[in-house]
């Protein structure tokens, strides 16, 4: 199917679930955003036909087993009563069969950082990545007891922690401290130095430096990514994280979505969501409070010397970084799928099986 047949829409800076033109008369997209402890706003692109909204705590529930919330809605959005737990999954549909499944992408955690679901995206063959099966996140040391209960209730079986031993020691995963919940798995390695960033003077140089580092991750984190894919092949419900949830985690998410057949532009847009949910300004405010905010004085001084546009690339998730990194992987390995087969233990049959498990 030609990519031009796909409609990719963005609301609030995020890429939404996508319905291919070949599967519906008018492609429909939607987004769920929590507005309060018991309220969610749904927005969608369909405006000419009435929309029905159904809900279930089962991400894959067939329509006949979902509860009807609203019907005959006109317009482009609705405010709904929806508690945080059990997690609600919504189906938006029109009388002639156009439909899309949506859920909150950013999970409503009190102590989470950039903890989000990578479900909902459309693959090139028109299927949708299952909601509630694969999550990406930043550091988890701040998770509250309520957060951990919520995540455990989602059925997460393992957390793949991509951080170095030093990082894990300084900010231990909350599930390890609690001694309960999903397994937390990690492999020790020496983190590459980003000292070269201190000499970067332009946004383009920063993009080039980070893109190069992302390609180097595939060697540095080969054991981590291999274990991650092995768990996915077993059908596990999985979360993976690093510190900010954008670099090592961003490459992992890009690999997974690519293996599942999600178009490149959607993969890149998912990477860009990190700077929507955790903008550079959030980190800069901590730097301004150093050392009381836990930022080492030498780091604060280094940031103070950097141009603002360089800092925004370093602390953000500029889509140009992932685009450049994936283009380099295309040239060097033949693409993310070929790379994953060459280095992370996947076969052609595994790719087919992963798509069977995680697409619907």
Is residue 160 among the annotated active site residues?
no
The Cα angle at residue 262 between residues 140 and 27, in degrees rounded to 5: 110
Domain extent listing, the chain = 1-104, 106-278+316-358
Specify the CATH number of the domain 1-104. 2.60.40.10
Give tens-digit pLDDT for 200-229: 899 999 999 999 999 999 999 999 999 999
**Helix 308-315 to helix 203-220 angle, to the nearest 10 degrees?**
20
From CA 304, how far away is CA 311, in angstroms rounded? 9
DSSP string, 188-252: --PPPP-GGGGG--SHHHHHHHHHHHHHHHHHHTHHHHHHHHHHHHTT--EEEE-SSSSSHHHHH
Rg, Å, the chain Cα set = 20
Q: What is the pLDDT of residue 285?
A: 67
Residues listed for the chain: 360
Q: What is the pLDDT of residue 289?
A: 53
From CA 318, how far away is CA 328, in angstroms rounded? 16
Residues contacting residue 176 through CB under 8 Å, at least 6 positions apart = 184
Instruction: Using pLDDT thresholds of 50, 70 and 90, give the confidence band for residue 301.
Output: low
Same fold, 1-104 and 106-278+316-358: no
Q: If you ran DSSP here, which 8-state letter would residue 289 be given?
A: T
Query: Can you give the pTM of this predicted structure?
Result: 0.89
| Beta-carbon-side half-sphere exposure of residue 326 (alpha carbons within 13 Å) | 26
From CA 310, how far away is CA 329, in angstroms rounded? 24
Give tens-digit pLDDT for 51-81: 999 999 999 999 999 999 999 999 899 999 9
| Beta-carbon-side half-sphere exposure of residue 162 (alpha carbons within 13 Å) | 30
From CA 322, how far away is CA 320, in angstroms rounded? 6
| 224 vs 311: which has the higher pLDDT | 224
Average pLDDT over residues 285-310: 63
Check: CB of residue 113 under 8 Å from CB of residue 278.
yes
Q: What is the pLDDT of residue 297?
A: 54
Among 242, 244, 329, 337, the active-site one is: 242
Give tens-digit pLDDT for 174-196: 999 999 999 999 999 988 766 66
Q: What is the average pLDDT score of the chain?
A: 88
Average pLDDT over residues 286-295: 52
Asked if pLDDT for residue 281 goes beyond 90, the answer is no
CATH architecture of 106-278+316-358: Alpha-Beta Complex (3.90)
């Amino acid at each position: 199917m030609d990519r031009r047949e796909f409609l990719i829409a963005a609301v609030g800076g995020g890429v939404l679930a996508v319905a291919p033109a070949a599967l519906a008369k008018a492609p429909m997209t939607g987004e769920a955003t929590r507005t309060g402890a018991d309220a969610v706003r749904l927005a969608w692109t369909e405006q000419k036909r009435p929309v029905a909204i159904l809900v279930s705590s089962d991400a894959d529930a067939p329509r006949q087993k979902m509860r009807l919330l609203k019907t005959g809605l006109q317009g482009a959005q609705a405010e709904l009563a929806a508690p945080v737990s059990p997690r609600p999954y919504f189906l938006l549909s029109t009388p002639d069969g156009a439909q899309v499944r949506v859920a909150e992408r950013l999970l409503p955690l009190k102590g989470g950082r950039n903890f989000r679901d990578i479900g909902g995206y459309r693959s090139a063959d028109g299927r949708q990545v299952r909601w509630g099966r694969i999550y990406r996140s930043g550091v988890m040391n701040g998770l509250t007891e309520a957060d951990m209960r919520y995540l455990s209730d989602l059925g997460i079986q393992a957390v793949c922690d991509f951080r170095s031993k030093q990082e894990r020691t300084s900010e231990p995963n909350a599930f390890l401290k609690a001694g309960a919940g999903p397994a937390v798995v990690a492999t020790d390695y020496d983190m590459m130095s980003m000292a070269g960033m201190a000499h970067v003077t332009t946004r383009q140089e920063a993009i080039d430096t980070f893109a190069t580092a992302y390609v180097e991750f595939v060697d540095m984190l080969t054991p981590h990514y291999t274990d991650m894919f092995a768990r996915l092949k077993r059908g596990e419900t999985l979360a993976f994280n690093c510190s900010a949830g954008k670099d090592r985690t961003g490459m992992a998410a890009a690999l997974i979505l690519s293996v599942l057949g999600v178009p490149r532009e959607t993969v890149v847009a998912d990477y860009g969501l990190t700077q929507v949910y955790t903008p550079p300004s959030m980190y800069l405010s901590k730097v301004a409070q150093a050392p009381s905010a836990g930022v080492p004085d030498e780091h604060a001084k280094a940031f103070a010397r950097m141009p603002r546009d360089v800092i925004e690339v370093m602390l953000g998730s500029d889509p140009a970084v992932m685009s450049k990194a994936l283009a380099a992987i295309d040239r060097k390995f033949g693409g993310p799928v070929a790379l994953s087969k060459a280095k992370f233990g996947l076969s052609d049959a595994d790719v087919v099986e992963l798509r069977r498990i995680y697409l619907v």
